Amino acid sequence: MIALTLYSRPDCHLCDVMAGQLEPLVRGRAELRVVDISSDLELKRRYGLRIPVLAAADEELCQFHLDRERVERYLATASGPGRER
């Protein structure tokens, strides 16, 4: 199954909004993992105030707001024949 990671932190309104929009979009198509960057110094350095950031493997798909079209394209491409992630 395709794995997506949402980099987030507590009390982040944009993070909550993106997570809520992602859940129905990826249901049954990808596994969504939410990672709290506040407890990881390296992630805080990498993402800082740019959160939320949605990533797949090493590719950032969107930040701040959900780019539904890009996520849909990624899911369609990644789930194609021979493309298990």
The string of pLDDT tens digits covering residues 40-71 is 999 999 999 999 999 998 899 999 999 999 99
- Please tell me the predicted confidence (pLDDT) of residue 81: 58
Domains by residue range for the chain, with CATH: 2-78 (3.40.30.10)
- Which tokens is 3 given? 């794995």
14-49 exposure pattern, b = at least 16 Cβ within 10 A, e = fewer: ebeebbeebeeebeebbebeebebeeeeebeeebee
CA 27 vs CA 38, 47, 51: distances in Å? 26, 26, 22
List CB contacts of 21: < 8 A, sequence separation 6 or more.
66, 68
